[in-house]
Structure 1
Amino acid sequence: MAIIVEKPGVDGLIEAVDALREWQGEGSPWQLHPGDLGWFWRFGAETAAAAIRIWRRDGRILAVGLQDGADLLRLTTAPDARQDEKLARRLVEDVIEPERGVLPPGKVAIEAPKDALIRDLLPARGWRAGEPWTPLHRDLTEPVKAPELRIEVIGPEQAAVRAEVQRAAFDGSKFSAERWQAMASGVPYADARCLVAYDDHDNAVATVTVWSAGPGKPGVIEPMGVHRDHRGHGYGRKITAAAAVALQKLGASSAVVATPSSHVAAVATYESGGFQRLPEVRDLARDA
């Protein structure tokens, strides 16, 4: 059967979430997670659906891509299709030909699992190793100690506080209570929690959102940040520990996160929060 690529509507977006849940597993290489779609849902379901591409054969979803911004495609496949040559060649053609509409012309990058055949095929078409990322992993099969800090699970009433800490943690962020509401209305958020940490003076000092893929599967942190006015007090380490506790309560087998290797402080924060650094991974990049 021929492989087809789709730009799905909201129903297809939900199908993509279900496929990504199924594909998560311990020991799998770093890959697109349903939580990544959940975080993107903050822009609304229709915008999230417009950013998704689905590749199918005989009705079955074989690959899912998220255009995360103008120049990055985050791509993964069903585990048993990673070395499927016909799929890999179709993916290559779809992402390198601008008229196919998956990626724009010019400087772009692709994130794909390290065992995906597409990574072996793209360099012959002029692609190179791109930005290095550091994945980190924390096993959740053993009890996790909660931090000595007030942590609140955020609901609609506290969405403005959650949004304020996000903007104060990430320069240029436009996150708002309305975007939190959009995110929380998405299908992936049924397996997610937003947390905010407070200091002894009731200041909101850090925040994190965690996404489970279901019991016995890795959960992901996306995003975690500390308010710029409250850094240097260990709140990053403590909110990271709180994230692990939340994921454990959701039944996740582990907590995973990836950050640019250039963000040395972020890597150190996760390590101090009990995460183990894994070997670096790189995007594949095209310069023109």
Structure 2
Amino acid sequence: MLDEAVQALRGWQRDDLPFQLHPGDLGWYRRFGAEATDEAIRIWRGDGRIVAVGLLDGADLLRFTIAPDARADEELARRLAEDICTPERGVLPAGTVYVESPRGTRFQELMFERGWQSDEPWTPLRRDLGAPVPDPGVRVEAIGHDQADLHASVIRASFEKSTFTEERWRAMAAGSPYADARSLVAFDRGDAVAAVTVWSAGPGRPGLIEPMGVHHDHRGKGFGRAITVAAASALRELGSSSALVCTPSSNAGAVATYRAAGFDQLPEVHDQRRD
């Protein structure tokens, strides 16, 4: 299931399209293991091909995208809306739930017509990788299996409720999307101060940063900007056309960090919510 979904998502990534579900999102979810990842993936087919892919990212959030050439398809939009709005079909449960999907699709219009509402805003950001990326100004190392615990520990120290562990790093790295990914750690005088994982969707396509974190003991010193610059450089080496990231608009510090690392702020996006 994972490999099939990733292959479809890779082909749908383009710089001229709105921010959408990326192969790296599935790769990052793979930290929960192969079985859990397959259970979280939703695939819709039509005319002998995959036309939509979703990731149930927790019990109440479906992260979801549609093949670019099918986003105005009325019949498909109605089929998707019916599947997602009907708890008995096993896509989302009853009660308050959320859907993340690309803006500007017929599917989104139908969801609003069914009474769904816009939720809190998110800010996508993009950095073009056509030109070389400057040196980040700190020592940055690519992390392999022998240092999985180091990368995981920095991510845990960066997010209050993180459950990322060495075992989960290894599960993530065992997934097929990680063949086009890199994990990086930034150092200051021997201390690991920031970490990131980047995900390529293939040469000439946008790459994704997910996650990026700065150790809580080393914030306010520019290490977030530095590791983000290093992430952009790593994606360029992997052949990506651009680097993408998305963060809650309420997290002004994260938005400022990405902008300081050369990312352009794109129009806000919203999940849709059913109460």
Is the TM-score greater than 0.5? yes
Q: Within 5 Å, which residues of 2 pair with 1:161-176?
A: 161-176=150-165
Stretches of structure 2 lacking an aligned partner (at least 5 in a row): none
Query: How far 1:124 sits from its partner (Å)?
Result: 1.6
Task: Output the aligned Cα RMSD.
Answer: 0.7
Amino acid at match of 1:105: A
Q: Distance in 2 between matches of 1:55 and 1:95?
A: 11
Residue 24 of structure 2 corresponds to residue 31 of structure 1 = no
Paired position in structure 1 for 2:191 = 203
Residue 166 of structure 2 corresponds to residue 177 of structure 1 = yes
Match of 1:244 among 232, 249, 252: 232
Paired position in structure 2 for 1:5 = none
Paired position in structure 2 for 1:47 = 36
Paired position in structure 1 for 2:74 = 85
Paired position in structure 2 for 1:7 = none
Residue 58 of structure 2 corresponds to residue 69 of structure 1 = yes
Query: How far 1:166 sits from its partner (Å)?
Result: 0.7
SS of the counterpart of 1:66?
A: strand
Amino acid at match of 1:158: Q
Query: How far 1:58 sits from its partner (Å)?
Result: 3.2
Match of 1:118 among 80, 84, 107: 107
Paired position in structure 2 for 1:107 = 96
Paired position in structure 1 for 2:86 = 97
Paired position in structure 1 for 2:266 = 278
SS of the counterpart of 1:169?
A: coil
Paired position in structure 1 for 2:251 = 263
SS of the counterpart of 2:240?
A: coil
Amino acid at match of 1:142: A
Query: How far 1:59 sits from its partner (Å)?
Result: 2.5
Amino acid at match of 1:267: V
Query: How far 1:148 sits from its partner (Å)?
Result: 1.4
Query: How far 1:193 sits from its partner (Å)?
Result: 0.2
Amino acid at match of 1:265: G
Q: TM-score, normalised by structure 2?
A: 0.99
SS of the counterpart of 2:157?
A: helix
Match of 2:203 among 215, 219, 222: 215
Following TM superposition, the consecutive aligned residue runs of length 4 or more in structure 1 with deviations greater than 4 angstroms are: none
Query: How far 1:155 sits from its partner (Å)?
Result: 0.3
Q: Distance in 1 between matches of 2:200 and 2:105?
A: 23
Q: TM-score, normalised by structure 1?
A: 0.94
Query: How far 1:146 sits from its partner (Å)?
Result: 1.8
Stretches of structure 1 lacking an aligned partner (at least 5 in a row): 1-11
Amino acid at match of 1:141: G
Paired position in structure 1 for 2:8 = 19
How many residue pairs get aligned? The number is: 275
Q: Distance in 2 between matches of 1:63 and 1:89?
A: 13
Cα deviation, 1:145-185, whole Å, max 9, x if unaligned, reads 12111101000010000111011000111101110001001
Match of 1:254 among 242, 245, 258: 242
Q: Distance in 1 between matches of 2:2 and 2:142?
A: 26
Q: Distance in 2 between matches of 1:116 and 1:182?
A: 34
Q: Distance in 2 between matches of 1:194 and 1:229?
A: 20
Residue 125 of structure 2 corresponds to residue 129 of structure 1 = no
Query: How far 1:115 sits from its partner (Å)?
Result: 2.2
Query: How far 1:226 sits from its partner (Å)?
Result: 0.1
